[in-house]
Structure 1
Amino acid sequence: MVQVTPLETCVVVAAHPDKVALTRQNIPEHAEAVQLAAMFRLFGDPRRVRILYALLEAGELCVCDLSAAVEVPETAVSQALRLLRTAGVVENRRDGRMVYYRLADAHVRMLLDLSREHTRHEGSS
């Protein structure tokens, strides 16, 4: 049985209706929360994270270059890119027989930049 410490519960049970109503208006609905959780799961794999940061640095790379940059077999890179492309995190373009990958948009770049900054900040505290 898990014991609950006083820090994890309200000492006096009294909800503040105005704060609760405002909070409910501004938090994601269940369906959106499911989408957000799926997005964060994509960032839960170190290989995918390194691939994303490689694309952030280089702008655009083919599978061969990504594989060499992140030191992961091409098949694993291709698999990761398929997941990331399906989720709308990366895009590709074909140039003859070559396919080049890049981050989908500025939002992905911002998320990666902020995540790394947060991690570095947390590590220095």
Structure 2
Amino acid sequence: MSNPVQDDQCEILCVHPEAVSTALQAIPSEDCVEGAVLLLKAVSDATRLKILSALSATELCVCDLAQVVGISESNTSHQLRLLRTAKLVRYRKEGRVAYYSLADHHVRELLNSALEHARE
């Protein structure tokens, strides 16, 4: 009977220099990696994912988002701050009301890809 822990490991030490070189060239800069980690951490929370999903349909103010997601306005504002820090949403003020929308089409694509992958 095979050991599942060892089945996913090489049975001999072998390095493929060309494959290693190709893989090393695909690794982005540290700044880029850190930015991507921040982005992925931001979307890894269920509440923030729901906020982004709602914003993918339409621009919403903080009060509307709180109603849609079912959390307090204070918590909604906190989650939106995290999403702004990760450059996933943008806002505009109209008088005393702050309206939020997705930052750009990349956010919509990221969201759609994640949800599509989850549905498979």
Q: TM-score, normalised by structure 1?
A: 0.87
Deviation at 1:6, TM superposition (A): 2.1
Identical pairs, percent: 40
Q: Which residue of 1 aligns with 2:119?
A: 120
Secondary structure of the residue aligned to 2:98 is strand
- 1:1-125 superposed matches below 5 A: 5-58=5-58, 60-121=59-120
> Which structure has more RCO (C-alpha within 8 Å, separation ≥ 6)?
2
Distance 2:77 2:110 in 1: 22
Deviates more, 1:39-48 or 1:23-32: 23-32
Distance 2:32 2:11 in 1: 32
Aligned-pair Cα RMSD in Å: 1.5
Deviation at 1:17, TM superposition (A): 0.3
Structure 2 residue ranges without an equivalent (≥5): none
Deviates more, 1:77-86 or 1:5-14: 5-14
Aligned length: 118
